[in-house]
Amino acid sequence: MKRSSGARLCATAALGALSLTLLTACSDEGSDDSKESTGSSSSSSAPAAKARTAAELEKLLLAQGDVKGYKVASADDTLPKSKSDVKADKAECAPLAYAMSGLAPGETEANASNTVTQDAAGTSSKAPKDVSEADIESAFKVDMTFVGLSSYDGDGAEKALKAVSDGVKACSGGFGIAAQGEKQKITKVAEGKASGTGDESVAFSVGSDMDGQGTATFNTEVVRVSNTVATYYTVNFANLETGKAAEIPTAVIEGQAAKLK
């Protein structure tokens, strides 16, 4: 992938938290032939707790220093602000599109999100004119994970996980997404190997058409901890050329799960 001189500015600004705008420029979502999904699947025997508010979820998101080697940033400028900004051309695929966008995969208004990016040390303080080609390559070789939290009344969290699991099967042949003014063609959806974190977890990968320049692959995992659901969607810009999917960092999943317990 050729990068113009403007990439120097983008790389410098993006080292702390690479933007979705940059991702869109390279193409968006993606797929893989990952192995089977599902982690632990259990139903809570205790009475369902009342859903947490969006403000409470904001406080439960990973913060700077919670996960060593990663930088945490607000998702205000990178992720869609509401479900109205994300449209799937098949209703059964909407929960997958939402999970990949840091939005609630189920029916709730309680939602919060941020980005957790692998720390690319040594270049974020450089002026644009001092950023070398090697610095730019390093900036693109980091994993960036979009983390979303949502909370539900009653059995809403269980229903959200089921909607994702059902969507993985129903949407295996692909679907279309329109988000923030950009259209994206998902060519394939496959079950993935879930981490087994929390009370229940589902993983999937998607193959994303790169405007006729091949297919990129991306992984997503959805984890339920009691009545709160966490979604993780990881990208690595350097991998866009290879089609190889970035793995969702275990440290990020475990760190976020620990804050939800």
What is 49-85 written as a DSSP string? PPPPPHHHHHHHS--TTSSTTEEEEE-TTTS-SSGGG
pLDDT of the residue at 128:
60
What's the pLDDT score for residue 13? 33
More confident residue, 176 or 16: 176
- pTM for the structure as a whole: 0.78
Q: What is the pLDDT of residue 12?
A: 33
Percent of the chain with pLDDT over 90: 59
Residue 24 has pLDDT above 60, yes or no: no
Domain boundaries, the chain: 29-119+142-260
Contacts 24+ apart (CB under 8 A), 161-166: 161/105, 161/106, 161/200, 161/201, 161/202, 161/222, 161/224, 161/229, 163/95, 163/105, 163/106, 164/95, 164/96, 164/99, 164/105, 164/202, 164/204, 164/222, 165/37, 165/38, 165/202, 166/92
pLDDT digits (tens, 9 = 90+) for 136-154: 665 667 899 999 999 999 9
Per-residue model confidence (pLDDT) at position 140? 62
Q: Is the pLDDT of residue 66 over 80?
A: yes
In this prediction, residue 68 carries a pLDDT of: 95
Query: Is domain 29-119+142-260 in CATH 3.30.1360.20, yes or no?
Result: no
Residue 243 has pLDDT above 90, yes or no: no
pLDDT confidence bin for 93, thresholds 50/70/90: very high
Quick check: 206 pLDDT over 60?
Answer: yes
- pLDDT band with cut points at 50, 70 and 90 for residue 134: low
Asked if pLDDT for residue 91 goes beyond 80, the answer is yes
Q: What is the mean pLDDT of residues 64-84?
A: 90
Counting residues of the chain whose pLDDT is more than 70, the rounded percentage is: 73
Confidence at 79, pLDDT banded by 50, 70, 90 = confident
Instruction: Give pLDDT, residue 11.
Output: 36
